[in-house]
Structure 1
Amino acid sequence: MHIPSPDEVRAIAAISDPTIRNLRITQCYCELSAAFIGRTGPVANWCTFATWASKQAGQSIRREDLLRSVEARLNLAQLEELKVLWRVADELGINTGLEQKLHGIIRNTWLAGIINGISEAVGRGNRKVFEEIGWEFARFFSSGFGDEAFDQQRLDAFCATLRPGNPPDGQQYLKQAFAHYHEAFFEQDAQLQTELQLLANLEIGFHEQTRLQPEIAASLNAAFTADKEIVRKKITDAFFPPDSWLARARLAYLKITGRKSRLDAAIDQLMNRLQGIVREQLTAHLMTLTIPPDLRLSLGRDLNKPYPAALLHLSYPGLTALLSQIDPTPDNLAQSGAVDWADLPDRMHFIAELFRCYHLDLALYHDAFTPQQVVFMKEGKLPSGRL
């Protein structure tokens, strides 16, 4: 079994191509997960879930189907705001067959910019988490924690390098998590062992999600942070070419009246409507997680998978204390769906339930890629087939 080293993690994080880097990150998580499972048996660790989250992130990084799905949802020809714009232009006598040009501006300038922004934000987050937490997992194994004997001195030395304090800057939750993983390795009580493992997963999950908050917010708010004014100017210039008498008349009107023309108002209404539709579609795309065998989970819907028997009733104080902070519906999947994935408490509620429900699900331990795909990506090549 290949166990990635800290040096390998650093080398992967340094890959400049975001697509290849994401594939290598996903595979590295898969290998670290397998190494942990080799020590614990079939129990999910944080890297198990990170494997599938990273693989899902790869779709956004590679921009797969996102532009197509957003365009399909927009259906520009049917937008009432666009019809209003054409009516106002007709009344002003300036609609000169601009439909194709306008559609091109929306697709090629605005939407393309949004999709690129999402790809970059997701790629940054993917690397940011991996180069910190992936490295700590690799360091954990390289420090000898796969050994059979409990070694408090070695554990203390490992934890001493982690920064005190809460995230995003402190690493106290990581320190606690690896201590709980190590304790679980040697715990004889099966129930306590399971609860320690879940606690460690949740502690890393909380640290990770707190650190990722800027990148997640940037991804989901891409439709609002994209430079709308550039697109608006391009649309305005299409109706009022800058060197034309129409442009001069428009500027004179604005200067005299101090208010927007009817056409300007119609353009603003169109842009606001487009933003709302795109935000909704992007949220639906980003709030999806596919896990083996081929289950697509909508992160906005309540989970319906029951807790495993071993996690129906929890008693370990550290675990119950953390859940009291991040799970507003104790021992209940009600309201587990995240209304707003950019909201950290909302997101952590779903993740807490996800980790608990799938803690012993054997389907999660599948390989992320085929052996041939792994060979290609480790050679720095983009593999063929479904990724």
Structure 2
Amino acid sequence: MPGSEITTSVELSPATIPTIDAVEKISVLTDPINRNLQITACYHELSTAFANRTGVVANWCTFATWASKQAGVTIRGEDLQRKIEEVLANEREIQTVLSIISLHSKKLGSGLLQQNMTITALKKLAESAKERASDAVARGNKKVFEEIGMEFARFSSTCLQDQEYKQSSIHDFCKMLRPGPPPDGQEWLTKAFTSYYKAFFETDPKAKDELILLANIEIGFHEQTRLQPEIAESLDAANIDPQQIRDHLTELLVRSKNIKDKIIYFFRWLIGGNQIIQKGNRQSCCHSGKTYPCSHY
């Protein structure tokens, strides 16, 4: 458009490009929240360093910056626990279970209110799910960074600085990568960094963009294969173990000062023998075939 300006990348001096030592120091941080913040910032710096060489086109670190920032939402537990509580509170089967337990406990002299039981039990379930998701995502965030982030830092300190194509330069870089497919091998990283290196010296804009896109996809394939266990674990974090409901509600009854011994006995019988509750537990804890989303990497 007339008068519009195209934003270009910000020049970084070689001293500000993340080094291998910097990546190692970030990787060993034990606080997952602080580590995630520094990982995200490091990805941004690596992305900018690449953009200085390739022009304004997204490289893998560009996407990694966004993904790591999104992972931070889950790692910090922002809004996740509240969302899980809202979802669970609207599950008809869970409310049926709590209503039956509350009704029979009240008849036998329990002073616990259904509302208190519901709020307390669901908060514990939500907190547990939040912690599982946070842990899985934090481990995945670290796992990717200490491998791929490290290779980008190594690549930036060598091949990125080449002013002319040197087959020996990219060969020396790639020979440090493990042969074979992921999750143990790094052959897709070898292909990706080779594509990036070729793009540095490609004069045809279309061919250059295609090489960068190919490299992004190749690293993405390696990343997702390596991360599959953590991805599955984070997605499964919202699944409710039926035993958790039993344990939380049992604890509520046992801790109540107004509960009589027969309440505890009846509660155990109710959870173990009543078919309605067993059905409600199975349905609610399996989410009735539904999958609840949680933040991702």
Name the residue aligned to 2:221. Answer: 206
Name the residue aligned to 1:65. Answer: 79
Q: Deviations over 1:100-125 (max 9, x none)?
A: 44224423422111100100100000
- Is 1:121–1:216's contact at 8 Å kept on the other side of the alignment? yes
Q: Is it true that 1:266 corresponds to 2:277 in the alignment?
A: yes
- Structure 2: distance between partners of 1:19 and 1:72: 25
1:169-208 to 2 correspondences below 5 Å: 169-208=184-223
- Structure 1: distance between partners of 2:282 and 2:180: 43
Q: Is it true that 1:17 corresponds to 2:26 in the alignment?
A: no
1:4-43 to 2 correspondences below 5 Å: 4-43=18-57
- Structure 2: distance between partners of 1:157 and 1:185: 17
What residue identity is the alignment partner of 1:37? A
- Is 1:18–1:123's contact at 8 Å kept on the other side of the alignment? yes
Q: Closer, same or farther in 2 for the Cα pair 1:233/1:267, shift >3 Å?
A: farther
User: More deviation in 128-137 or 271-280?
Assistant: 271-280
- Is 2:272–2:278's contact at 8 Å kept on the other side of the alignment? no
Of residues 245, 248, 266, the one that matches 2:262 is 245
- The alpha carbon displacement at 1:280 in A equals 3.7
What residue identity is the alignment partner of 2:280? Q
Name the residue aligned to 2:149. Answer: 134
- Is 1:46–1:205's contact at 8 Å kept on the other side of the alignment? yes
Name the residue aligned to 1:86. Answer: 99
- Structure 2: distance between partners of 1:58 and 1:82: 32
Q: Is it true that 1:115 corresponds to 2:130 in the alignment?
A: yes
TM-score, structure 2 length as denominator? 0.83
Whichever structure has more helix as a proportion of its residues is 2
Q: Closer, same or farther in 2 for the Cα pair 1:142/1:109, shift >3 Å?
A: same
Q: Closer, same or farther in 2 for the Cα pair 1:271/1:104, shift >3 Å?
A: farther
Q: What's the RMSD between the two structures over aligned residues?
A: 2.9
TM-score, structure 1 length as denominator? 0.65
- The alpha carbon displacement at 1:82 in A equals 1.7
In structure 2, the gaps of 5 or more residues are: 1-11
Q: Closer, same or farther in 2 for the Cα pair 1:182/1:59, shift >3 Å?
A: same
- Tell me the number of residue pairs that the alignment of Structure 1 and Structure 2 aligns: 278
Name the residue aligned to 1:286. Answer: 295
Q: Deviations over 1:38-60 (max 9, x none)?
A: 00001110000100000010000
- Structure 1: distance between partners of 2:238 and 2:167: 50
What residue identity is the alignment partner of 1:90? L
Q: Deviations over 1:215-260 (max 9, x none)?
A: 1100000123x65424312314545789713444676x69xxxx94
Of residues 275, 282, 287, the one that matches 1:276 is 287
In structure 1, the gaps of 5 or more residues are: 290-387
Name the residue aligned to 1:232. Answer: 246
- The alpha carbon displacement at 1:192 in A equals 1.6
